[in-house]
Amino acid sequence: MKKFFGIVLWFLSVSVQAQEEDLMKLLNAVEGPAPKEYVSATFKGSRVVNLQTNEMPARGVGQLIISHRFGTINKEPLYNFFGLDVAQMRVEYSYSPTGWFNYGWGRSSANKTYDAFTKVRLFRQGHGGGSPVGIVWYSSSNINTTKYSDGIDHYFSDRLSYAHELIFARKFNETFSMEVVPSLVHFNLVETPDVPNDQWGVGVAARYKLGNRTALTAEYLARAYRPEAFYDPLSIGLDVETGGHVFQLHVSNARFMNDPSWMMQTPGSWVKGDLYFGFNLSRVFTHKAPKKAQAPELL
Amino acid sequence: MNKTLLFSVFIFTALGASAQRLIAKDAFIRFYSSTPMEDIEATTNTAVSVLDKTSGEVAFQVSIKNFTFDRALMQEHFNENYLESEKYPKASFQGKLVNPSAVKWGKDGVYSAHLKGKMNIHGVEREITTPVTFTLKSGQILLESTFYVQCVDYNIEVPTLVVAKIAEKIQVSVKTKYVPASK
């Protein structure tokens, strides 16, 4: 009898031990399979420097970006304080009514250009399966508002130009992300008949995280139509994140900030040392806060 | 003492044990950081929990990414910089009531007890003890608990730049309503 009792006791203790493991098993069973997850924060900002990234403000969030490009570094650098005496500027504000759509307006100094843009997320990079890249489409319409000095009567449409970017971005790991951006710029008016109205290019950009809040970035746009007066824009930047702000400091041969100009009409050359310091400063504003979770109550 | 009796007791315990398990799929967890400069709150009702009335065991698990903040950017920072949810996707607690007899599961009322167990946040496991309240009302069981988590204890690094905006001790509130596991 004693022996039997002992066996039962042993059995009971085993079952208690198993129970503890069971509890975690049950917990995981209750939780169910993990939902489909997407990669986030491929880049820190919605732009690398000038080129768009696959990022955009979250649902219900507006973003203000103020950008400056200073004067050239290599022209009497000490006298001109490395170009900081003068600046081209751009201001833009955009808003995301949903998580996959963003629209906004901007004004850039170059050609006194006003622009309106939309950004649409088509695919998100999946986490452990799903799409290997995130795909975002960006388009901007630009109005050159400088006064004509050529004495010709112009149509309003002569002032318009358009830029399109299809962004294929991939976050390879926590520190390294890259994107390839086939781009098209359409100028309604070009200077001579042999200049194409449609000009193609392929942008390439990368981000390397130095720490949780700083990252090195670089972007380059290779153009198909290559007139002698213009060069491919190449920029190297540093992203610094401070709470609600992202500072993007950079050196670039592109001084213009409206899309058609910086993409296809960059007069500065890295080889000749026509470089410019610049920064983008972004700040987000929450228009609509996400819904809070509700605590359960007894009935 | 005869064999049949013993056997039936054994079976009964085994069966009883399974019936004493309760679960919650929508456990509510709230983080609250309060400083003179800024109050920050994050909530979720997607945590899962299991309660074993017989053994007094309680377990929780939550996906870090599920916490919602007032500002999307805070949520991104929370995941990217502080909790590093890519590396440590989940936080969990597994523990036991220190004084299981303090709660009379069969009787309506409000019972205070203490939970002792292992808390795992940001990949760091720590032994903690926290007061817990069970409210029993016509077959429903509500667990409530509020405790504080120190960022340093779980290797959560707060940069000097925002140190004035994030409290050293974060208040965590948990509220869970359980339903029988068989459902």
Quick one: tokens of A80? 């001109």
Q: Does the pLDDT value for residue B161 go beyond 80?
A: no
- In A254-283, the residues whose Cβ lies within 8 Å of chain B are none
Q: What is the pLDDT of residue B2?
A: 61
How far apart CA A209 and CA A204 sit, in angstroms, is 17
- In A87-126, the residues whose Cβ lies within 8 Å of chain B are none
Range in A31-35, A205-209, A210-214 the model is least confident about: A31-35
The model's pLDDT over A268-280, given as tens digits with 9 standing for 90+, comes to: 999 998 999 999 9
B5 shares contact with chain A (CB less than 8 Å)? no
Query: In the structure, what pLDDT confidence band is assigned to residue A80 with cuts at 50, 70 and 90?
Result: confident
A297 shares contact with chain B (CB less than 8 Å)? yes
CATH number of the domain at B69, please: 2.40.128.110
In a domain, B13, yes or no: no
| Overall average pLDDT of the B116-140 stretch | 93
B107 shares contact with chain A (CB less than 8 Å)? no
How far apart CA A17 and CA A21 sit, in angstroms, is 7
ipTM for this model: 0.71
Query: In the structure, what pLDDT confidence band is assigned to residue B183 with cuts at 50, 70 and 90?
Result: very low
The model's pLDDT over B3-41, given as tens digits with 9 standing for 90+, comes to: 665 555 555 555 444 558 899 999 999 999 998 888 999
In a domain, A188, yes or no: yes
Quick one: tokens of A159? 């002032």
What's chain B look like in SS3?
CCHHHHHHHHHHHHHHHHHCEEEEEEEEEEEEEECCCCEEEEEEEEEEEEEECCCCEEEEEEEHHHCEECCHHHHHHHHHHHCCCCCCCEEEEEEEECCHHHCCCCCCEEEEEEEEEEEEECCEEEEEEEEEEEEEECCEEEEEEEEEEEHHHHCCCCCHHHCCCCCCEEEEEEEEEEEECCC
| Overall average pLDDT of the B91-97 stretch | 94
B82 burial class (0-12, 13-18, 19+ CB within 10 angstroms)?
A: buried
Torsion of CA A72, A73, A75, A79, to 10 degrees: 110
Enclosing domain of residue B100: 21-180
Min Cα distance A252 → chain B (Å) is 28
By DSSP bridging, strand B68-69 and strand B90-97 are unpaired
**How many CB atoms sit inside 10 A of residue B105's CB?**
15
User: Average pLDDT of chain B?
Assistant: 87
In a domain, A5, yes or no: no
CA B125 to chain CA mean position, Å: 14
| Overall average pLDDT of the A94-119 stretch | 96
| Overall average pLDDT of the A136-150 stretch | 94
A37 shares contact with chain B (CB less than 8 Å)? yes
Could you please report the per-residue DSSP string of chain A?
Answer: -HHHHHHHHHHHHHHHHHHHHHHHHHHHHHH-SPPP-B---SSSSSBSSSSB-S--PPTTEEEEEEEEEEEESSSSTTTTGGGTTSEEEEEEEEEEEETTEEEEEEEETGGGEEEEEEEEEEE--BSSSS-SSEEEEEEEEEEE-PPP-S-----GGGGEEEEEEEEEEEE-SSSEEEEEEEEEEEESS-SSTTS-SEEEEEEEEEEEESSSSEEEEEEEEEESS--TT-B--EEEEEEEEETTEEEEEEEES----SHHHHHH-B---TTTT--EEEEEEEEEEESSPPPPPPPP---
A62 shares contact with chain B (CB less than 8 Å)? no
Where does residue A134 fall: left (phi above 0), alpha (psi -120 to 50 degrees), or beta otherwise? beta
B155 shares contact with chain A (CB less than 8 Å)? no
Q: What is the pLDDT of residue B109?
A: 92
How far apart CA A130 and CA A143 sit, in angstroms, is 39
Range in A25-29, A116-120, A200-204, A271-275 the model is least confident about: A25-29
Between A240 and B11, the higher pLDDT residue: A240
| Overall average pLDDT of the A200-215 stretch | 94
In a domain, A271, yes or no: yes
Number of domains making up chain A: 1
In a domain, A293, yes or no: no
In a domain, A23, yes or no: no
Range in A59-68, A222-231, B2-11, B87-96 the model is least confident about: B2-11
Between B182 and A210, the higher pLDDT residue: A210
CA A121 to chain CA mean position, Å: 12
A33 shares contact with chain B (CB less than 8 Å)? no
CA A99 to chain CA mean position, Å: 14
In a domain, B6, yes or no: no
In a domain, B8, yes or no: no
- Above pLDDT 70, what percent of chain A? 93
CB contact under 8 A, A30 and B50: yes
Number of domains making up chain B: 1
In a domain, B54, yes or no: yes
Q: Which amino acid is present at B4?
A: T
Min Cα distance A61 → chain B (Å) is 8
CATH number of the domain at A185, please: 2.40.160.40
CB contact under 8 A, A284 and B94: no
Enclosing domain of residue A86: 61-286
Q: Does the pLDDT value for residue A206 go beyond 60?
A: yes
In a domain, B7, yes or no: no
Q: Does the pLDDT value for residue A111 go beyond 70?
A: yes
Quick one: tokens of A103? 């629209």
| Overall average pLDDT of the A102-119 stretch | 96
CB contact under 8 A, B72 and A290: yes
How far apart CA B149 and CA B128 sit, in angstroms, is 10
Total-model pTM? 0.81
Between A1 and A160, the higher pLDDT residue: A160
CB contact under 8 A, B140 and A243: no
In a domain, B2, yes or no: no
Q: Please name the residues in contact with A147: beta carbons below 8 A apart, sequence gap of 6 or more.
A: none
Between A21 and A12, the higher pLDDT residue: A21
In a domain, B5, yes or no: no
User: Average pLDDT of chain A?
Assistant: 90
Between A24 and B52, the higher pLDDT residue: B52
A151 burial class (0-12, 13-18, 19+ CB within 10 angstroms)?
A: exposed
CA angle A277, A278, A283 (to 5 degrees): 160
| Overall average pLDDT of the A13-28 stretch | 67
In a domain, B14, yes or no: no
